[in-house]
Structure 1
Amino acid sequence: MTALTASPSYVVGIDLGTSHTVVASVPVGGAAADIALLPIPQRSAVGEVVAQPLLPSVRYQAAQGELGEAWLQPWPPQGASPEAPAVIGRWARELGAAAPGRLVASAKSWLSHTGVDRTAAILPWGAGDEVAKVSPLAASASYLAHVKAAWDAAHPGAPLQQQSVVLTVPASFDEGARALTLEAAQSAGLPQVQLLEEPKAAFHDWLLLQGAQLAQQLAGSRLVLVVDVGGGTTDLTLIRVDAAADGGVPTLTRTAVGEHLMLGGDNMDLALAHQLEPAFAGAGQRLPAQRFAQLVQRCRMAKEQLLAADAPAQVGITLLGGGSRLLAATQTATLTRDQVQQLVVEGFLPAAQITDGPTKRQGALRGFGLPYPADAAISRHLAQFLRQHADGALPDTLLLNGGVFHAHALVQRLTQQLGDWRGSPVRVLHNPHPDWAVARGAAAYGLARVQAQVPQQVPQQVPPSSESNQPLVQVQPAPAAIKTIIPHIGGGAARSYWLLLPGKAGAAPQGICLLPRGTEEGVRMVLSGRRFALKLGQAVRFVLLANSRSNLPAQAGQLLALEGEGWVELPPVATVLPALPGSTQTQVEVQLQACMTEVGTLEVRCVKVEHGVADPAQSWLLPFAVRGALGGQEVSESVAASADATSAEGQKGLSSPAGRLPDAVALIDRVFGTQAQAVTAKEVRQLRQSLEKILGPREGWEVALLRALFDALLARAKRRRRTTDHERGWFNLAGWCLRPGVGAELDAWRITQVWALYGQGLGHGKEAANWTEWWVFWRRVAAGLNEAQQMQLLEDVAGHMQKAVQQTARSGGKTSHGSYDDMLRLFAAMEAVPWQYRQEMGQWMLQRLQRPDETVQTWWAIGRLAARQSLAANAHLVMPPEAAQEFVHATLAQDWRKNETAMFAAVQMARMTGDRARDLPDALRAQVLEKMRAAGAPARWQELVERVVPMEAQDQQRSLGDSLPPGLVLL
């Protein structure tokens, strides 16, 4: 744990939950019995502040003046202002029930959603521009800041930042989500916190409650399954119990954790809302996004009432109307206790076989842009987890945590299911307070660590294996076993971590193990037998993967083919290593080191090696790339960004075409290098064809190869202006290799480098063909440009387009500004600019379409401008459905049998995403679908409008206006 600036007086456990935040604390010199919950002051109404242990993890983004001065008490939320007031907690939840478009909810789920920029202001999801938005990171930080203010008010002599703070996270959180959780804590003024997995915390609380009877209580248990179902996630954890020979405290070892499963109470609320939706919208109809969000809020409150111990038989669900028909349009439906239990139990814990697995078909769980799993059946996910990790010994003991298990029917079904799989009953450990067991357990865990005396660590050497794939590994031992008031739960790292290396052609890629599963916190693995050569001042990217399989052989430094189940790609570790001070050295030899820090995060370092000896004074921490927009893209690459400098095994897999990369770079250097060479104009013009002879057809070049080629071109960009042919060839090839501007890690760095060329402009600006390649280049990489860059590009291309239109009218078709069609396509690629600008562009294009000679590409451009699914930008930048309808109606006025491009534009604008904030109204989509059928549209186009399905490659290429690199997938 990071050293505190002052001796702490308290240990504080914080459960930052999806639905609620809870805080528990205990004096450092106290006992477990002294653990107490913190009453958290929060506004419950305009004139009332209450202090309760549960702080709803919601934030209401009010309109200016809406709350008067009430938002200032008990203290202003972090990030709020008089122009954008906000409120957190109970009152926020009440206000959000009436105006869901202003409610920030499920921030924790968004924080783990890798398909969006988690640092961008995107919440409330789907809200209009009149609502001030915050990022998932900022929302999470504001809840922690509220907790800090509450603690400091109650303990003025012991501010929270000086206490020992344990912050819980789902066991399934990946390294990116953990890093962002720590960043949220730092933003809230808590720079020193330790992360603890929520199921471990819940089990710590149960252990704590047993006291001196612990050994007796666990006497008959050998394998404990912890099922923690929160508001946004389901966490599965197995803990092995080994009885002590002397009858003392047993040894506890966490043996497995489940994969990230975004499935919890939120999904149950959505399921109930879908069930009631026909009562409000009519059979076969859907409510508008705002009304549906209101229904979800109402169902959440009804669910809590109907699953409580003293639940009523039924609850009325009322939706108010809007505008002048507020009362007249009010509707009411009834939700019964039996109905809720039946829907929740059968929908989320249906009877299953131990051989079952999750289905792939998307269920009715998609609601607000979050990547919920296709199968809502927790029982089938559990069966798969046990098959993978229980090694044939099914758990005999069960601990349940989370508010959903207040429902006796859920407890009964899950217990019965496990008993059926085992063939004998399973024992259920009593959890008296599932709402705050995690916070209490975190405090107990932290108290044990603070009270423990940790001995000094002494390095030791582990002799190298005789096998060639087992290099020398240096290991620093973990702290000695901690003797505490409750037993320590061992097990170390829940996953093994691997670095992706190149694989042989046609074979599975290989990985090298950085950190084996089970490695204890504080143990540093040093891959001293493998060294890597890295260039300074250039982009370095390591692709990491994790695997939680217990039967996967894993030792540090081991090479393994990355085959089988359970591989999860982590956010890459990526950086640009700075040049060494006072040195002209451009390349360094490094070794990799990895450890699971005491804070609870994975740390990867490069340490410089000089004359075979590592120099800890010259090391680089490789941060996880969790900032910025990933654009909903997944990248799969088979070539690592670094090569082994000392082992022949480091060159394995550099086969065709990647193995011929040096020949391709040499050819690029011949054309664009510094040395004057006798290169003919024909050689320059045929550079692409020459590269294809070496590497194969360019359509098959993988992402890693493309970026390597681009890096070679970028390093020689100064020589792109030698001739008109050089300039055209450089922009043509560089744009192809960097397209679509995002997707491979460090593309943001590449875009920063290439944007510097924009201000330099063309060296041969009198050549129309060069202007065309200029526009094509920026269109191909536009997805990587930020809003300010796209706005500047937009203004420039608009000016050139206007001149081209005027020049074409005068000259009868000729223009010196490049291709009008390519400028038009560049217009449509501006996905990061505010949608209002794209709306204006579309309206201008509709006017142009009144001309009989306007290109059919204009319809394609309109479809891209108002598409429901962005191809590269985050989904929150999509044009709202209300604004897009103007363009849909324009396409409907066309004869689609004669104008297929207009029909495809309608497909892009009417495509169903499952996100009500983006989808067109059902009636308009039905109108588009009816006309498509009449026009004989391809079945795959009709399916895109009718249901949520991925776009096929050929249609995705048509939407993008270009092909995508193999291995890069846009969701």
Structure 2
Amino acid sequence: MSAPKDPSPDNSSPNADSANIPDAAVSDEQDAPRYCIGIDLGTTNCVLSFVDTLAPNRQVQVFQVPQWVDLDTLESRTTLPSFHYTLTQSEATAADNAKKNRNVARYLVEPANERVGEFARNAGSIHPGRLIASAKSWLSHEGVDRSADLLPWHGDTDVAKKSPMSASAAYLEHLRLAWDDAHPDSPMADQDVVVTLPASFDEVARELTVAAAARAGLPRIQLIEEPQAAFYAWLDRHSDDWASLVRVGQLILVCDIGGGTTDLTLIRVRPATAKTSTPEQIEGESSESDVEMDGASLQFHRIAVGKHLILGGDNLDLAIAKSAEAKLDAPLPARRWQQLVAASRGVKEMMLSNNRPSETTIHLAGEGSSLIGGSVSVNVSAEQVDQVLLDGFFPNVPLDAEVVGGQSGFQELGLPYASDPAITKHLAEFLRAHRDTGVDDEQVDSQRVDLVLFNGGVLRSSAIQDRIVSCLANWFGEDDYDWKPQTLQSPRLDLAVSQGAAYYALVRRGEGVRIAANLARTYFMQISNSPPRAVCMIPADAQPGQTYRIDSLPMELRVGVPVSFPLWVSSTRLADRPGDVVDIDPSEMTALPPIHTALQDRKRKKESSMQIVVETHLTEIGTIGVYCVSAGDAAKSDATKSRRWKLDFDIRATLETDREAHQGGGEASGIVDEETLQDCDKQIDAVFVHGDEKPAKLVRRLQTTLDLKREQWPPVLLRGIWESLMRVETHRRRSPAHEARWLNLLGYSLRPGYGVAVDDWRTATTWRTLFGKIAHDDPQTRAETMILWRRIAGGLTEGQQAQLANVLKRTLTSGGLRPESAEALESWRLAGSLERLPIQEKLDLIRAALAQLERKKARSLYPALLWAIGRMATRIPAYGPINWVLGARDATDVINRLLSNPALRPVAPESTDDPGLTQHIHTAASLALTQISRRCNDRFRDLEETDRTRVIRQLRDLSAPEHFVRLVEEGGQFDHEEQAAIFGDSLPLGIELR
């Protein structure tokens, strides 16, 4: 491994911060922007603080943000609630009338039907289907396309959806426009702006935060992690006496529990070895980073950060709502449940305050015309809240307490909440994992936490603070029963992060006290699946501006062919060095979305491969860059002349085509040698290139060559066959039979469109080659085309599926297809497999299929129709996004239509004219009913208990498998054979639908 390089001309200090200052900002004082601005982009609230560097006394101030608090009332508040609301038609009319008689800043009235801030939060509690909340949590959700328009989750049909990034940008834009309105001579985009994010944000979330700021009109920002910002705020408050409050060797825990996340950070107080000039210092000024105290210097070192935990105030709200709902006679419907969760937020804040009442009442107004009759009231006591929150989220546990794995009990809001809600368990796990981190100084004589800084809205509660301090005292008090860690006080936990971010902007200019912050996490690139191993590519002690070259493992890559680089990150393996090869341990390492690329080199048009090495770079704002560099150019001193390809994170990977990129399930199912692939090539050439063999015999000849039945071909072999078929693509035009066989085998070899690295590239290539370009327009070829798209639908994008749906709607609604034709059957099965269609598109197709089910002449088509309806109305999709699943009400309508259909009556097959078809219909009906009514513990998707009881009765009448009954009653997963029935084909070895 080559030594790390620093490409910046000023050579960053080895104690650089988590986000260095760009060259343009290191300038003379008179050229520096006037304001240092810190923005807390929070899950629940946003806060903007600033420092006027021209003021006689440079103090951090909190900006009062103008915002709507009612339809016609404007006020300025210290916080901007992180909520986005779409007005109803009547609200939009009232708001427009109120604005006509007022002189309101333009940014407060456009767009006319949207609001952010206080009014959005309040109105959303009444109309939750119009409210976007917790966008920051969605920004870090690894299981969705975070750039896709999916919020509000389960929103009303007339509400335009936004992506998590767009919602975040809306809050930042409001802050920017409010600032610009108040400071027309100093627009925010021209100031030093620091935006905060959780220390545990993954690389995609960090990059999307930067993109959200750019969309909001802030193209130049710096990032700082929230726990560090909170500690900077404490340093600012104690600028005169902080040195008397700490001593060398002490360990400081920053415990930050906000609305959406729990963020844990450890800071060690160390002696500074020497005073160094850093890029943050203005020339001619000295830094107060190192303070003389009793002949020694002190410096703060951030040494560890915790895992990403979507566990915070939102979870506490849900828990209170669950506890309150338990007092009611029956579970609330979905929209009423959302109102209860919103009301529970207020109960939490009230009951965690120091002057709380002994009891409070939650009132939910009735819906519809009968407001009094439909209203709900439930009493919540302080004792009940303590039991739910303190005992549920902050129990007294020993230091060796283990975090419980599995799935979170909260499924309604769609977020991947931490499976174990006990925050004290996660804290114990974090402190155990970092027991020896940073204990390499002679002055460190203890591994216990000496000081605690609390931050975040949840920790405004003294009861929760006391519980955490009590746990720390039990863990580290040893024989000293009176010992407990000292708490570093903060007057406003909801403002501290933005205040610290503004102070940090000053620190970057060389003023104040600086925290030395390494990366505190190690990045790995997976290099093998069997056994799973990875190479360290960025160490935990990396500093911004440093570049690492992994030249101990040179790779040969084919030009123009895509490659995949699964990435892992660890916050516990902090000693690994670049180039070290390690075993992958999922308990210590977390998968990141993989990186994909296809190298294109104009200089190597005739050469098929090149030697490359991997270079990594920690950028100045704390994100990472990964590059492929031609091995012949890697040694060149002039980096501008080397051939480099930047590798970008696949933001959609966890949702789209390479869901299994890190597990390697497809690759691990069988490795194929080159000779075997060459034998397959010969058989394929004999049919398509030479024309020596008939197309109908190709599969049989391949099975003989491989000595494996077709369903036993492993994914790696299948993808090799796909490459061979694409190589002979032009020869499919020999005849309709050749094209039909080529289409059939191509789809089979690429199914289900994901599961093997770079399947997204293969699927995209297939689409470009074939969509609208079939050579022979006959029924068999058209049917095989439908089969191909169905088989690889999981790898098709939203836009591609929409194009297929447009073609299908014309075909299926024209009435031109004979019901008994293979083309009609395969068209409906393709329609059912398109899971990335909007809900309304699915409803239109479902209604058309239900209408066909009522035509006796279409009886031969019934199994395909039922299969398609089951896929389109399923509660849990096979591969698609959950936000495009039909709601419970629409699913119930489908169930009612199916249960009333005579074709589903439980008659004995032998009593019909075609017993085989009758049995086939009953089997398809059982699978469809199970998919549509399977319990998933999400009240937006789950059918009512009475409806599920009706389905269970029908399933038993149809002699459905008992497992189907359990899935409807209790929930669970389909087994492999049942998944194959849902997929409509056999699944490749090692690949599951979800």
Which TM bucket (shorter chain)?
Answer: 0.7 to 0.9
AA aligned opposite 1:516? P
Partner residue, 2:525: 499
| Contact in 1 for aligned 2:906/2:957 (Cα 8 Å) | no
Aligned 8 A contact 2:44 2:83 in 1: yes
Write out per-residue CA displacement over residues 657-715 of structure 1, whole angstroms, 9 at most, x where no aligned residue: 4351x335434543566999656315873357637855966556665665455345334
Q: How far apart are 1:394 and its partner, in Å?
A: 3.9
Partner of 1:270 in structure 2? 318
1:436 aligns with 2:495: yes
Report what 1:780 is aligned to.
Answer: 791
Q: 1:138 aligns with which of 166, 171, 174?
A: 166
Out of 563, 581, 584, the residue aligned to residue 562 of structure 1 is 584
What amino acid is aligned across from residue 857 of structure 1 in structure 2?
Answer: A
1:300-357 CA-partner distances (Å, limit 9, x unpaired): 1222122223333333211111121123322222223332233211110112222222
Structure 2 SS opposite 1:846? helix
Conserved 8 A contact 2:688-2:731: no
- Which whole-Å CA distance do the structure 2 matches of 1:156 and 1:528 have between them? 52
Q: Distance in 2 between matches of 1:92 and 1:45?
A: 9
Deviation at 1:498, TM superposition (A): 1.1
Residues 563-611 of structure 1 deviation map (CA, whole Å, 9 limit, x = unaligned): 3622211111223334437966554433211122110111111223336
Measure the CA separation in 2 of the matches of 1:62 and 1:695. 65
1:913 corresponds in structure 2 to 936
Q: Does the CA-based 8 Å contact 2:540-2:575 persist in structure 1?
A: no
Contact 1:502 1:638 in 2 (8 A): no
2:394 maps to which residue? 349
| Equivalent position amino acid for 1:856 in 2 | P
Q: Secondary structure at the match of 2:373?
A: coil
Residue from 303, 306, 309 that aligns with 2:348:
303
Distance in 2 separating the partners of 1:406 and 1:349: 14
- Structure 2 counterpart of 1:621, one-letter code: K
Map 1:840-851; keep pairs closer than 5 Å. Answer: 840-850=844-854, 851=856
Of stretches 308-317 and 823-832 in structure 1, the one that deviates more from structure 2 is: 308-317
Contact 1:108 1:232 in 2 (8 A): yes
Q: Does 1:752 align with 2:769?
A: no
Supply the distance in 1 between the matched residues of 2:69 and 2:756 (Cα, whole angstroms).
47
- Residue matched to 2:751: 739
Aligned equivalent of 2:335: 290
Q: Is the 8 A contact 1:210 1:217 kept in 2?
A: no
Maintained 8 Å contact 2:657/2:795: no
Give, in whole Å, the separation in 2 of the partners of 1:947 and 1:254: 46
1:853–1:732 distance in 2 versus 1, CA, 3 Å: closer
Question: SS of 2:157's equivalent?
Answer: coil
1:326 aligns with one of 371, 375, 386: 371
| Alignment partner of 2:450 out of 396, 404, 409 | 396
Matches of 2:203 and 2:907, distance apart in 1: 51
Q: Say whether residues 1:27 and 2:52 are aligned partners.
A: yes
Match of 2:745, as an amino acid? L
Q: Provide the C-alpha distance between the structure 1 equivalents of 2:604 and 2:136, rounded to a whole number of angstroms.
A: 45
Deviation at 1:559, TM superposition (A): 1.7
The question of whether the paired residues in 1 share the 8 Å contact of 2:687 and 2:693 is answered with no
| DSSP 3-state at the match of 2:519 | coil
SS in 2 for 1:521: coil
Correspondence 1:143-154 to 2 at 5 A:
143-154=171-182
Figure out how many residues of one structure are paired with residues of the other and give that number.
908
Aligned to 1:826: 830
Deviations 1:590-640 (A, max 9, x none): 321112211011111122333663462332221111158825973145779
1:361-400 matches, cutoff 5 A: 361-391=406-436, 393-400=447-454
Q: SS state of the match for residue 124, structure 1?
A: coil
- Structure 1 runs not aligned, ≥5 long: 453-483, 642-653
Residue 446 of structure 1 aligns with which residue?
505
User: For the structure 1 residues 136 and 807, does the alpha-carbon distance in structure 2 shift closer, same or farther, using more than 3 Å as the test?
Assistant: closer
Structure 2 residue aligned with 1:534: 557
Residue from 979, 982, 989 that aligns with 1:956: 979
Decide whether the 8 Å contact of 2:408 with 2:416 is kept in 1.
no
TM, length-normalised to structure 1: 0.87
Aligned to 2:671: 658
Contact 1:229 1:401 in 2 (8 A): yes
Give how far 1:803 is off.
8.7
Q: 2:287 aligns to what?
A: none
Structure 1's 807 and 925: CA in aligned 2 closer, same or farther, altered over 3 A? closer
| CA–CA separation in structure 1 for the residues paired with 2:813 and 2:72 | 58
C-alpha deviation, 1:148, in angstroms: 0.5
Quote the Cα distance in structure 1 between the aligned partners of 2:190 and 2:94.
31
Whether the aligned pair in 2 keeps the contact of 1:309 and 1:406 (CA below 8 Å) is no
1:925: which partner in 2? 948
Amino acid at match of 1:488: I
1:866 alignment counterpart: 873
Which has the larger displacement, 215-224 or 159-168? 215-224
- With over 3 angstroms needed to count, the CA separation of the structure-2 counterparts of 1:510 and 1:349, relative to structure 1, is same
Equivalent pair of 1:574/1:625 in contact (CA under 8 Å): yes
On the 8 A contact 1:15/1:167 being kept in 2, the answer is: yes
Pick from 125, 135, 142: which aligns with 1:114?
142
Classify 1:620/1:55 alpha carbon distance in 2 versus 1 (closer, same or farther; 3 Å). Answer: same
Paired residues of 1:219 and 1:243 also in contact (CA < 8 A): no
State the shift of 1:558 in Å: 1.7
Contact 1:358 1:381 in 2 (8 A): yes
Q: How far, CA to CA, are the matches of 1:845 and 1:430 in structure 2?
A: 64
CA shift digits 1:261-314 (9 cap, x unpaired): 11100011011111111445x1xx321111110111111122212222333333
SS in 1 for 2:649: coil
Hey, what's the Cα distance between the residues in 1 that align with 2:852 and 2:695? 41
| Superposition deviation, residue 937 in structure 1 | 4.9
Q: Contact (CA 8 Å) 1:664, 1:691: kept in 2 or not?
A: no
Decide whether aligned partners of structure 1 residues 586 and 104 sit closer, same or farther in structure 2, where only a CA change above 3 A counts: same
Are 2:219 and 1:191 equivalent residues in the alignment? yes
User: Residue 3 of structure 2 corresponds to which residue in structure 1?
Assistant: none
Aligned counterparts of 1:695 and 1:346: Cα–Cα separation in 2:
61
2:513 to 486, 493, 507: 486
- 2:568 maps to 545
Q: Which has the higher mean CA deviation after the structures are superposed, 298-307 or 706-715?
A: 706-715
The change in CA–CA distance for 1:854 and 1:686 in structure 2 (over 3 A counts) is: closer
1:772 corresponds to which letter in structure 2? A
Which residue identity is paired with 2:846? G
Instruction: State the distance in 1 between where 2:464 and 2:665 align.
Output: 46
8 Å CA contact retained: 1:32, 1:485: no
TM-score (normalised: structure 2):
0.85
2:631 aligned with 1:609: yes
CA distance in 2, matches of 1:75, 1:948: 52
Q: Per the alignment, in what secondary structure is the counterpart of residue 261 of structure 1?
A: coil
Report the alpha carbon displacement of residue 548 of structure 1 after superposing the two structures with TM.
1.6
Deviation at 1:126, TM superposition (A): 0.4
Please say if residues 145 and 655 of structure 2, whose CA atoms lie closer than 8 Å, have aligned partners that are also in contact: yes
Q: Which moved more, 1:914-923 or 1:901-910?
A: 914-923
Distance 1:65 1:896, change over 3 A: same
For residue 901 of structure 1, what is the amino acid of its counterpart? A
Counterpart code for 1:870: P
Deviation at 1:111?
1.0
The answer as to 2:801 corresponding to 1:790 is yes
- Rounded Cα–Cα distance in structure 1 between residues aligned with 2:686 and 2:35: 65
Q: State the alpha-carbon separation in 1 of the partners of residues 400 and 152 from structure 2.
A: 40
Q: CA deviation at 1:80?
A: 6.0
- Whether 1:518 aligns to 2:563 is no
Q: Tell me if structure 2 keeps the 8 A contact 1:18–1:107.
A: yes
2:424 equivalent to 1:413: no
1:543–1:640: 8 Å Cα contact kept in structure 2?
no
Tell me the amino acid that sits aligned with residue 658 of structure 1. Answer: I
Alpha-carbon separation, structure 2, partners of 1:438 and 1:882: 43
Paired amino acid for 1:489 = A
Give the corresponding residue for 2:733. Answer: 721
- Relative to structure 1, the CA distance from residue 761 to residue 667 in structure 2 (aligned partners, 3 Å threshold; closer, same or farther) is farther
Match of 2:78 in 1: 53
More divergent stretch after superposition (612-621 vs 197-206): 612-621
Aligned counterpart for 2:257 among listed residues 182, 204, 229? 229
Query: Which of 904, 909, 916 matches 2:927?
Result: 904
Deviation sequence 1:409-430 (CA, Å, 0-9, x none): 1111111111112235222222
